[in-house]
Each structure stands twice: as structure tokens, then as C-alpha cells.
Amino acid sequence: MFKLVINPSKEKGHINPEIQGHFSEHLGRCIYEGVFVGEDSDIPNTKGMRNDVVEALKEMKIPVLRWPGGCFADEYHWKDGIGPKENRKKMINTNWGGVTEDNSFGTHEFMELAEQLGCKTYVNGNIGSGTVQEMSEWVEYMTFDGVSPMADLRRANGREKPWTVDYFAVGNETWGCGGNMVPEYYASLYKHYQTFVKQFNPDKKIKKLAVGPTDKDYNWTETMLRECFRQQGTFPQNFGYMDGLTLHYYTLPYDWDKKGSATKFNDKEWYMTLAKTFAMEEFIEKHSAIMDRYDPDCRIGLMVDEWGTWYDVEEGTNPGFLYQQNTIRDALIAGINLNIFNKHCNRVKMANIAQLVNVLQAVILTEGPKMIKTPTYYVFKMYSAHQDNALLESSIDTEPIGIEKKYMVPNLTESVSKDERGNIHITLTNLSATDSYEIETNLLGNEIESVSGEIVAGAITAHNTFDDPDVVKEETFDAFKTDGDKVTFTIPASSVMHIKVTLCQKSAQDVFSRT
């Protein structure tokens, strides 16, 4: 039996909803066919947005959406994507498949999508091929409510009131596709460009994000903090240079030359892939340690704005479209990462899985009028119970499992939170491809009133198809035994679980009085 110990009276941090954020790029069929079909499409839509996709994402409680890239962001010129669609300039998407981009999905369409979803907006600016003026005018176009050339242009294009831009990043992957820069050069450019990302509405402050490292590039983080960090100043406008630093890490079974199949893999490849996902925790801890030296109060968030699995594309699809299937393995990787982000929520303020629809570890796949939810979708739906909660102190017994020594992983991972009503939310992953485990959960003297749960489980290669869309789905789990402050249950092999625990009224009152 493995013991999970939870201290409901010990809060460790706050879990931002944005930790469960998403990323949408002009890449393959993510935007076009995935989210946007146009108002003239036979597929049911509202102002061009697919109704089925929008409803599914709302059900999942999507908190924030990043757009327009990715590598695409640094070749995107926003004025090409406004005004009458028939007059918009066409371009070649040089990063992703060399296809023609007609710019029919631009600023107005993205903001319409965000309004339909009810989520926060994260806009990526162009530093790689764009100018300071272009970036400054885009911010003015989106957020200024007075009389100015850009605000007047927005009104002429049909939008009277400004939108809210919650997050704005100055560039993307400037160490690679965003310009192949060294950190010292980018740090100087970032300070220059961000100066002109103006705060036109003091009540809706744009959080400015700087490009951070990939993987274990600790020198990049050190340089950015050394060159760009400053304490809050005396004057209201002097808030420092950045609110967040990004981090990118993808889980690949092998390497960039041979990534491996999304659906055809054995137990060894199962454990190999899960083991590589745990590098995320190491990267977060080491980058955070650098940030802590400059920013011990965690004012600057570590934003993991690209993460997820990356496999070989599905056979017969455009290699530049990055279309891959999604199995129980991906569900486990989503659960492991989300538990890691929760555990580090004092520093990790946002994370955006790549990507929203039809690209990489998508939560949704579409094919013409058909839509399916992937195993990863159901994990995000279950984990939405953590949004805006207090992280609780918790620990779980584990044992190493796997096939080869270098690819051993802990058999279980967890994170626990408390919502505003005092309910306890537990998320668990069982990484074993074959074994179930009995769990005893101890809430340290807090008597349990009721327990309920949901689970995503199946064979390791199980996945949904357009012919069979419900092979993997969220199901009710109720095989619990309670005794005072303890609850016992068995978690099946290769599964992700969410458990909601309601404490007896007296215990709940005691917890609130202690916190």
C-alpha cells in the first residue's frame, strides 16, 4: 500500500488557472479547419469559429490562449490581418509547410475567439522581422480607447471598444527561429521593444513576457535576469522590465532526427518517454534557482509557454503540419507535467501546451465536420478543478519502475489543492504500464464526509479515432473506502485520476481557522 499524506491546513501557494493554458499557431490545421472555418462554411460556426470546438474548450475551462505563434509570430505582420478579408495580403508560411497564409484569421478573429471562449489573451509580438513601431502600433490598435491613428483604424474595421491584452511577449524563441540571437543581444532588444508596449489602460495592465531559455540553457536565464531585472521603482510607471520569462521543453521518445511513433510503441518506449518528461521538473527547479537570486519574491513568473509531446507525423500527412495522434501515454505526460506545474506554482505562473487543435499534443482533432476529444483533453478537463485553488502540502510514497535503469520513473505522481469552499482536490498519475496500486490517503485528523472521482485509463496505446471517438474518455470512479480521516482505493495501471474530498463541517471549519 502506498500512502498519500495531505495537510489541509498547510497552504503552499496559489495555482493560477493559466497553468492550464493553451497555444494556437498558424501551423498546419490548428487555426484553419481546427478553430476557424469562416462564416460561409457548412460546418456550424459563430462568426467563423467552429461551434463544436468552442463548446468543447469552454467545457474544459480553457483559461488563456496564446497566438499567433511560435515561429510564425516572428514573420507575422499584424496589419496584413485586418480589414476586409478579400483585401488582406497573402504570404508564404516559411516555417510550416510553405503553404499560403491568406490572413483571414487575424487580430479581430483571435479576439472574437477569446471572447467566445471567455479566456484570457496572450499575444506574441514580432521582434525577428518586425519593428518597434509595428509592435507599438499593434498594442495601440488593440488596447487604446482614445483618439489616435491606430484606435481610429480599429474602429474603421468594426471594433469600437478596445480589447484586453492580458499577456504580450516580445518575440519567440529568439535563440532559434526568432532570430538566432545570443542572450546579451536579445536582452538589449527586449528592453528596447518592451518600452513601447504601452499601458494604455492602467486598470488592465498588460503583463510583458521576455523570451526565456530552451531546456537547460541556464546561461540564457542568468543573462536575462542580470540584464533585465530591476526592483519596482518609485514612480507608478516604473514596474520593471518583465512580468514573466518563458521556458520551452518538448518530450520526445528519442531525438529530433527520430522522434518515434505516436501510437506504435512498446513498454520500453512507454517508460523512455515518461522518463524524459521528468526533465521538466529539473529545468524548472534550476531555472527557478537562478531567478530566486534576483527575484526572491517571485514577482517574475516562469512561463512554460510551449510544452508537450512531439512525435513523427501521422503517415500520409504534410510533414510541416505536425499532425499526430494522442494516446493514454499523452494523457500520462499531461498529468505528470500539470502536477509538476502545480507543485511549483509559486514560480510557474502560466504554461501553454502545444498545440490547441490538430498539431502536436492537441486536446482536439478535427476532420471536416467531425471532431474528437483526445485523452489529453480529458486530463485537462479533470485538472480544471485545481484552477485558482490553494496548493496544499502533500507527499506520496513511490517506488522506481521501468525496464532499463536509465529510464526508471516513480510509479506515482500527485498534486493537491483546496478550493474556496474547502473541498480537497487530488490529481494522481499511475505510470505503470501493467500494475495497479492500493493507495491510502491520510488527511491528518480531518474527518471525511464524502469522496468522488473521475478517471482516464486504458491500454498504453489506446486512442480515439473519428470512427471510434470514445475509446478513451473521462469516466466516473467511485471505488473508495473511507474511515475517519482516511480514504483507500486502487488506482489502475496507466491512468490519471481526479478525486474530490469534502471534509465534515467541523473539520472544514478547523482547517479554515488554521489558515
Average pLDDT for residues 293-321, to the nearest whole number? 96
348 vs 14, 78, 171, 344, 353, CA distance in Å? 10, 29, 20, 6, 14
Q: Categorize the per-residue pLDDT at 404 as very low, low, confident or very high, splitting at 50, 70 and 90.
A: confident
Alpha helices for 313-450 (secondary structure H): 328-343, 375-383
Using CA atoms in the order 40, 43, 49, 55, what is the torsion angle rounded to 10 degrees?
Answer: 160
Please report the DSSP string for 172-239 in residue order: S-TTTTTT---HHHHHHHHHHHHTTS--S-TTSPPEEEE---BTT-HHHHHHHHHHH-----SSTT--
| Locus of grid cell 475567439 | 113
Cell readout for 17 is 488557472
pLDDT at residue 508 is higher than 80: no
pLDDT at residue 513 is higher than 70: no
Residue 378 and residue 419: Cα distance in Å, rounded? 20
Q: Categorize the per-residue pLDDT at 229 as very low, low, confident or very high, splitting at 50, 70 and 90.
A: confident
Cell readout for 337 is 507535467
Contact 436, 428 (CB under 8 A): no
Quick one: CA dihedral 473, 478, 481, 482, positive or negative?
Answer: positive
Sort strands 486-491 and 481-483 into parallel, antiparallel or unpaired: antiparallel
Say what the pLDDT of residue 505 is.
78
Buried (b) or exposed (e) across 23-41, using 16+ Cβ within 10 A?
bbbbbbbbbbbbbbbeeee
pLDDT at residue 408 is higher than 50: yes
Cis peptide before 68 (omega within 30 of 0): yes
Contact 439, 29 (CB under 8 A): no
Average pLDDT for residues 215-235, to the nearest whole number? 83
Say what the pLDDT of residue 145 is.
96
Average pLDDT for residues 299-306, to the nearest whole number? 97
87 vs 68, 79, 327, CA distance in Å? 20, 11, 42
Q: Quick: pLDDT tens for 186-212.
A: 999 999 999 999 999 989 999 999 999
What number of other Cβ atoms are within 10 A of residue 6's Cβ?
Answer: 23
Average pLDDT for residues 339-349, to the nearest whole number? 98
Residue 61 and residue 82: Cα distance in Å, rounded? 28
pLDDT at residue 317 is higher than 70: yes
All structural domains of the chain: 2-9+391-514 (2.60.40.1180), 17-387 (3.20.20.80)
Using CA atoms in the order 205, 211, 216, 219, what is the torsion angle rounded to 10 degrees?
Answer: -100
Say what the pLDDT of residue 239 is.
46
pLDDT at residue 515 is higher than 90: no
Q: Quick: pLDDT tens for 43-64.
A: 999 999 999 999 999 999 999 9
Average pLDDT for residues 288-304, to the nearest whole number? 96
Tell me the percentage of the chain whose pLDDT exceeds 90: 94
Cell readout for 33 is 479547419
Residue 346 and residue 384: Cα distance in Å, rounded? 18
Say what the pLDDT of residue 363 is.
98
Nearest CA to 444 among 511, 515, 506? Answer: 511
pLDDT at residue 428 is higher than 60: yes
Q: Quick: pLDDT tens for 35-45.
A: 999 999 999 99
Nearest CA to 27 among 69, 63, 66? Answer: 69
Residue 392 and residue 150: Cα distance in Å, rounded? 46
Say what the pLDDT of residue 107 is.
98
Average pLDDT for residues 91-102, to the nearest whole number? 93
Contact 125, 111 (CB under 8 A): no
Q: Which residue has the higher pLDDT, 507 or 427?
A: 427
pLDDT at residue 506 is higher than 80: no
Nearest CA to 143 among 125, 159, 130, 126? Answer: 159
Contact 514, 9 (CB under 8 A): yes
Residue 172 and residue 75: Cα distance in Å, rounded? 11
Residue 321 and residue 375: Cα distance in Å, rounded? 21
Say what the pLDDT of residue 5 is.
98
Please report the DSSP string for 8-54 in residue order: EEEEEEE--GGGGEEE--SSTTSTBTTTB--TT-SS-EETTEEHHHH
Average pLDDT for residues 117-142, to the nearest whole number? 98
Fill in the DSSP letter of residue 357. Answer: B
Please list the active-site residues.
Answer: 173, 306
φ/ψ of 405, rounded to 5, equals -55, -40
Residue 209 and residue 339: Cα distance in Å, rounded? 23
Question: Is 458 strand, coil or helix?
Answer: coil
| Locus of grid cell 469516466 | 475
What is the pTM assigned to this prediction?
A: 0.95
φ/ψ of 306, rounded to 5, equals -145, 120
Cell readout for 415 is 498534486
